[in-house]
Amino acid sequence: MKEIIAIIRTDRVEPTKGTLESIGVKGITISHVIGRGKQRGTIRVPDPESTVRREVGVYIMQQRGIIRDADDPKYHVPVQKEIDLGFLPKKMIMIVVNDDEVPLVVNALIQVNRSGLQGDGKIFVCPMTDAVRIRTGERGNKALS
> Could you say which residues in the range 82-101 bind other proteins, by CB under 8 A?
87, 90, 92
Nearest residue to 81 via CA among 46, 39, 130: 46
- With CB under 8 A as the contact rule, the residue among 20, 97, 105, 113 that binds other proteins is 113
User: In this structure, which amino acid lies at residue 62?
Assistant: Q
How far is the C-alpha of 145 from the C-alpha of 143, rounded, in Å?
6
The angle formed by the CA atoms of residues 95, 114 and 45, to the nearest 5 degrees, is: 125
**79 is a contact residue toward other proteins (CB under 8 A):** no
**77 is a contact residue toward other proteins (CB under 8 A):** no
CB neighbourhood size of 128 (10 A): 14
Query: DSSP class of residue 132?
Result: B
Which residue, 83 or 126, is less far from other proteins as judged by CB?
126
96 in Cβ contact with 1 (< 8 Å): yes
**11 is a contact residue toward other proteins (CB under 8 A):** no
- With CB under 8 A as the contact rule, the residue among 61, 94, 106, 131 that binds other proteins is 106
- With CB under 8 A as the contact rule, the residue among 10, 50, 118, 141 that binds other proteins is 118
Residues that bind other proteins (CB under 8 A): 2, 5, 7-8, 31-38, 40, 87, 90, 92, 106, 109-110, 113-127
